[in-house]
Amino acid sequence: MRLFLGVTFIYAAFDKLSDAHYLAGAGDPASFYAQTQAVKGGSPIGWALGPALSAPTFFGLLIAFGELAVGLGTLFGLWGRLAAAGGAAISATLWLTVSWNVSPYYLGNDLAFLFAWTPLLLAGTPYLSIDGYLARRARRDRARGLEEDGVRRRALLDGGIAAVALGGAGLLAGSLTATFGRKKVTTPAAATPGTTAPAPAVSGGTGSGAKVTVAASAVPVGGSAQVQEPGTGDAVYIVQPTAGQYCGFSSICTHSGCTVNPPKNGEMYCPCHGSKFNAATGAVVTGPATKPLPKYTVTKNGDQLELGGKQS
């Protein structure tokens, strides 16, 4: 269990730090900001996500390096109960946000991770670990007559030295990954098939009666343009699956409320749990999602495309 949780959380941290989309900001539907914004409305702790949206870079890095610290502490068995508490806190937060709307509930992996931390919370990491070594040495110190205060002080000092060394190595590796390991995101001058054009301006304000339009030239066959639904602010992809056929699809995954990626190769992919949707119909191609993406009507008026209402 320690090996699995430790390696998984370390991998999750480096996966985030090496992902150019993770800290890209509001304009990228796969970013930390966009995913947090997408789950806020349906989360029971949505009220607490305001600071994360106000400072997405800080909180995004906090989560990534928090996962790295938890993974290293668990894998090497250093302050095991504290690392397990941190892992449980991260898993609980992800369950209450990213996985909260998963239906049925047992498909939400964050809940399973939350309970997987229970044994380490109860027992710590006494075997094949730094904690175990320090505990055995403490018993030897007591056996040779060292006072209890001295035993505790020595264990705390050496544990602190190990934490600084391990944390420093993790911080260095994470920083190098974030600096040199991320691939650059290129933004094409014009949308091409499989890409998404920047969101257009909204006519008539931002209320529910506002009109959302985008140039038809921004939506090539097989490509898309991202707009915002005036009433909710949710991202909508306007697509042209075949020449002259236009429609819109909600970017909110029906599995757990994450933001799906723009259409590519005829599919829209959800980065949270791997669901895929048909970019022409919104139908589920690959689960765990079971419901199609909500569809919107799109009307062509001259050289402009106008977003209509959501279809039932």
Q: What is the pLDDT of residues 80-103, one digit of tens each?
A: 999 999 999 999 998 898 888 776
Give residue 100's pLDDT: 80
pLDDT digits (tens, 9 = 90+) for 108-120: 788 899 999 999 9
Does residue 232 carry a pLDDT above 70?
no
Residues 211-231: what's their mean pLDDT? 79
Q: Give whole-number Cα distances, 299 to 7, 130, 239, 306, in Å.
A: 50, 65, 12, 5
Confidence of residue 202 (pLDDT cuts 50, 70, 90): very low
pLDDT at 176: 78
Give residue 123's pLDDT.
93
Would you kindly state where each structural domain of the chain is located, as residue ranges? 2-180, 196-310
For the whole model, what pTM was predicted?
0.66
CATH of domain 196-310: 2.102.10.10
Q: What is residue 128's predicted lDDT score, i.e. its pLDDT?
A: 93
Among the residue ranges 106-120, 171-185, 245-259, the one predicted with the least confidence is 171-185
By residue count, the chain amounts to: 312
- Distance of alpha carbon 273 from the chain centroid: 10
Please give the full DSSP string across 1-16, using - where no structure is assigned: -HHHHHHHHHHHHHHH
What is the distance between the alpha carbons of residues 17 and 182, in angstroms, rounded to a whole number?
7
What SS3 state is found at 299?
strand
pLDDT for position 18: 85
Mean pLDDT, the chain, rounded, equals 80
C-alpha atoms less than 13 angstroms from C-alpha of 274 in its C-beta half-sphere: 6
pLDDT tens for each residue of 272-307: 777 888 888 888 887 777 888 888 888 888 888 888
How far apart, in Å, are the Cα atoms of 214 and each of 80, 133, 310?
Answer: 54, 64, 17
Which whole number is the average pLDDT over 252-266? 79
Closest CA to 15 of 26, 2, 30, 37: 30
Contact in structure between 83 and 73 (CB atoms under 8 Å): yes
Peptide bond between residue 288 and the one before it cis (omega within 30 degrees of 0)? yes
Q: CA 102 from chain center: how many Å?
A: 15
Q: Write out the two tokens for 282.
A: 């919104």
Taking every pair of C-alpha atoms in the chain, what is the biggest distance, in angstroms?
91
45-59, 88-102, 200-214: least confident range:
200-214
pLDDT of 204 > 70? The answer is no
pLDDT in tens, 66-76: 999 999 999 99
Query: Which pLDDT belongs to residue 193?
Result: 44
Give me the half-sphere count of Cα atoms (radius 13 Å) on the Cβ side of residue 166. Answer: 21
Tens of pLDDT, residue by residue over 150-178, are: 888 888 888 888 888 888 888 888 777 76
Give the whole-angstrom CA distance, residue 145 versus residue 156.
Answer: 18
CA angle 95-99-101, nearest 5°?
Answer: 120
Q: What interhelical angle do 2-17 and 56-76 show, nearest 10?
A: 150
Q: Please give the share of the chain, as a percent, with pLDDT higher than 90.
A: 20
275 vs 203: CA distance, rounded Å: 33
How confident is the model over 8-30, as a mean pLDDT? 82
Name the least confident of 10-19, 152-161, 183-192.
183-192
C-alpha 81/C-alpha 64 separation (Å) is 20
pLDDT for residue 255: 76
